[in-house]
Structure 1
Amino acid sequence: KTRHKTYSVEDAVAKAKASATAKFDETIDVSVRLGVDPKRSDMIVRGVVNLPHGTGKKLKVCVFAEGAHADEARAAGADVDGAEDLIAKIKAGGSGVIDFDKAIAHPSMMPKLGVVARVLGPRGLMPNPKLGTLTTDIAGAVASMRLGRVEFRAEKNAIVHAGIGKASMEASQLAENLAALIAGVMERRPKGMKGAPSQSNYL
C-alpha cells in the first residue's frame, strides 16, 4: 500500500498544477480532513470565505428581489433577477429555468421562496443567512460572489471539498487562496473543541 506523501503548500500546489494536463483549464480542488463528528449538531463546520484571487470561474448570479432591491441587484451585475414571476417559472419547472450558479435573496422574499425550497435546496441554491445569501446588502452579496466567494461544509466523512482556483493561475495565487480557505475553515471550529480541527489537507 502506498502511503500519502507530505508536501509543503508551495510544492503541493506546483505538483497539482503539473498534473493538470487536460485540454481545458482544470479546477484545483482541495480536501480538508477534519477531526470532527459531523453527525453531531454541535460539531458542524460550515461557512463561506472570499478567496483573495478568485476562483477563476465566471458564475451566473441570481437575485430574488423586487422594486428598488431588484434595481440594486441589476446595478451590481446580477445575471438574473426576479420575484414572483421567477419563482413561478421555477415552480413550474422545465429545462433551462434554473440557469444560474448562485442565488441571493432579500429577506422580504423568503415567505414567497418557500414554495420552491424543495427545488432550490437540493441544488444548494436556497438563500441562507448563515451563508450571506439572504441579506439586505444585495450589492455586497453580488460583489462577494464575483470576487471569488466559496461556500464550504464538512460532509458525512468529515471532509471539506472546495475549489481554490484554476490550473492556469499563478502558483502563488493558488497558495494564497488555499491559505484563505483553510483559515476560513479554522474560524468555524466547533465551540469547546480542543486543538486544531484540521487533521490533513489534500490537493
Structure 2
Amino acid sequence: MAKLTKRRKALAAAVDSAKLYPLEEAIRLVKANATAKFDETIEISMNLGIDPRHADQMVRGMVGLPNGTGKTVRVGVFARGPKAEEAKAAGADVVGADDLAALVQEGKIEFDRCIATPDMMALVGRLGKVLGPRGLMPNPKLGTVTMDVKGAVQAAKGGQVEFRAEKAGIVHAGIGKASFDAEKLLGNARAFVEAIQRARPAGAKGTYVKKVALSSTMGPGVKVDVATLGGA
C-alpha cells in the first residue's frame, strides 16, 4: 500500500470520517481542504434507496445549476437550415448534419454535450454505437432532442448538468469549483438535491436519500447530514 504524503495526512486529519456535517459546514470544510495547485472541482455524491436495474427505479435527468459549474462545455448540434443558424448564434461549438455525422463516425467528437432537432434523429440514431457509450446520445427526456435549439444550447453553456444513477444507486455531479464562494456552492448543491428529490421514481420504497458526501478533486470526502438537505 502506498504511503500517504504529509499533505494527504493533514487533509485526512482535518475531517472526522465518523461525523455527519451540516451541508453548509461540509461545503466550507471541503473548500478549505481543496489545496491543490489547480482549481479543484467540488463534487456531490448521493446514495439513493433505489435499484436502477428496474425501469421504475431509474433516476435520470438534467438540472441547471444557478451559479454555473466553472467548466467550459463544448456543445455540438445536429440541425439544418434556420435551426443550424440558430444554434450557431446561440454559441454552439459544432453544428452540422451529414458532415457532422461523418466526423463522429471517424471518432472526431469535439463536443461534451450533443443536441439534435427531432428531424435529425434518423441520422443521429445511426451514431448510437459511438455516442451512446460516451453518454452523448441526444434524448428528448433530457431536453437534448428539441426544436428549442437556442434554449438547449444556452442551458448547456450556462451550467446545466446531467445526472444518472449508477448500478449501486449513486448519483453524482460537479457543483462548481473550489474558487467559488461558499454561498454559490451551497446554492448549486441545493439545486442539485432538489432535482434529485423531484426525480424520485414511483418504484422507490423506504428511505430515498440514504447517504450524501461532498469532496474536491484531491481532497477527502466529507459526509453530510441528510437532515440538513431540506425535504430529503
TM-score, reference length from structure 2:
0.83
Distance of 1:62 and 1:125 partners within structure 2: 10
Q: Does 1:132 align with 2:143?
A: yes
CA contact (8 A) 1:91 1:115 kept: no
Which letter does structure 2 place at the counterpart of 1:181? F
Distance of 1:201 and 1:157 partners within structure 2: 14
- Once the two structures are superposed, the pairs formed by residues 58-73 of structure 1 within 5 Å of their partners are 58-73=72-87
- Once the two structures are superposed, the pairs formed by residues 1-203 of structure 1 within 5 Å of their partners are 4-93=18-107, 97-191=108-202, 193-194=204-205, 197-203=208-214
1:18: how far off?
1.1
Greater mean deviation of Cα atoms: 53-62 or 187-196: 187-196
Which letter does structure 2 place at the counterpart of 1:88? A
Distance of 1:202 and 1:179 partners within structure 2: 13
Which letter does structure 1 place at the counterpart of 2:197? M
1:192: how far off?
5.3
CA contact (8 A) 2:69 2:176 kept: yes
Q: Once the two structures are superposed, what CA deviation does each residue of 1:111-162 show, in whole Å capped at 9, x if it has no partner? A: 0112211001111111001111111100000111111101101100111011
CA contact (8 A) 2:56 2:203 kept: no
CA contact (8 A) 1:120 1:126 kept: yes
CA contact (8 A) 1:186 1:196 kept: no
Distance of 1:193 and 1:156 partners within structure 2: 15
Distance of 1:4 and 1:41 partners within structure 2: 34
For this pair of structures, how many residues does the alignment match? 199
Aligned CA distance change for structure 1 residues 170 and 3 (closer, same or farther; 3 Å): closer
SS of equivalent to 1:156: coil
Distance of 1:35 and 1:192 partners within structure 2: 10
Q: Once the two structures are superposed, what CA deviation does each residue of 1:26-83 show, in whole Å capped at 9, x if it has no partner? A: 1001100101111111100111110010101111111111100100000111111010
TM-score, reference length from structure 1:
0.94
Decide which structure has the larger Cα Rg and report it.
Answer: 2
1:196: how far off?
5.2
Distance of 1:188 and 1:71 partners within structure 2: 34
1:88: how far off?
1.1
SS of equivalent to 1:161: strand
Structure 1: stretches of 5+ with no match in the other structure: none
- What is the percent sequence identity of the aligned residues? 54
Which letter does structure 1 place at the counterpart of 2:188? N
Distance of 1:37 and 1:192 partners within structure 2: 9
Following TM superposition, where does structure 1 have runs of at least 4 consecutive aligned residues deviating by more than 3 angstroms?
A: 192-196
CA contact (8 A) 2:45 2:172 kept: yes
1:194: how far off?
4.8
| RMSD across aligned positions (CA) | 1.3
